[in-house]
Homo-oligomer: A and B are copies of this chain.
Amino acid sequence: MSIDVFLVDDHRLFLSGVKAELSEEFRIVGSAHDVDTAIAEIRGYDPDVVLVDVHMPDGGGIAVIESVGETNPGVKFLALSVSDQAEDVIAMIRAGARGYVTKTIEPPDLADAVRRIHAGDAVFSPRLAGFVLDAFAGAIPSDQDPELDQLTAREKDVLRLIARGFAYKQVARKLEISIKTVETHVSSVLRKLQLSNRHELARWASKRHIV
């Protein structure tokens, strides 16, 4: 029941270092130092976990994750990089990586990370954890705004549609009421929320993720 691990890194020295450190505990089924052979070999071996470098020629780790992900959805990826840049982390997670650790990691911690990735965990270096948490927290505010409570049900209906960019006429048609009624509701909403026009209203709504 050992875990099959595949390594991808364009620095061969680093590759052999990782291999040496992990081979005691895991079965290293293979390794590659460029994107194309990595994709081909991972498809063949179908390992449990792939450690993949972020920055490589010909597309980097993203290309590997996206290509393999389509054919071998069971393979889990752990990004391993010198970079702790937000955009790199985001890009890898978007591509489908289940974790991201920097190369400053200690060998025992890396082994632990591989185990956790295989168990289904998400793994991030301590420094990146806070960043990921912040982004996650900002992702879906969604809580009840007390300001929304001052609005009546119908006003909220109108607000939602206005926030989506519909013209008064379209809102009227969707709610099956007259344009004049839509105007009345919008006026009430603007007054209650202390806004001056529908553009500010749309902005107010988008900031609150009311869509």
Contact = CB atoms under 8 A, between A and B. Distances in A.
Of the four ranges (under 10, 10 to 19, 20 to 34, 35 or more), the interface on chain A belongs to: 35 or more
A135 B133 contact: no
Contacts of A142: 87, 90
Copies in the complex: 2
Contact of A199 (B124, B125, B202): B202
A167 interface: yes
Contact of A120 (B129, B135, B136, B139): B129
Contacts of A135: 136, 139-140
B124 A122 contact: yes
Contact of A202 (B121, B139, B202): B202
A147 B124 CA distance: 32
A119 B143 CA distance: 30
A202 B167 CA distance: 13
B139 A199 contact: no
Contacts of A98: 129, 133
B91 A143 contact: yes
B165 A200 contact: yes
Contacts of A203: 163-165, 202, 206
Interface of A: 86-87, 90-91, 93-94, 98, 119-127, 129-130, 132-133, 135-143, 162-167, 197-203, 206
Given A98-B133, A122-B132, 10 more contacts: A87-B143, A120-B130, A121-B129, A132-B132, A132-B136, A138-B139, A139-B139, A165-B200, A165-B203, A167-B199
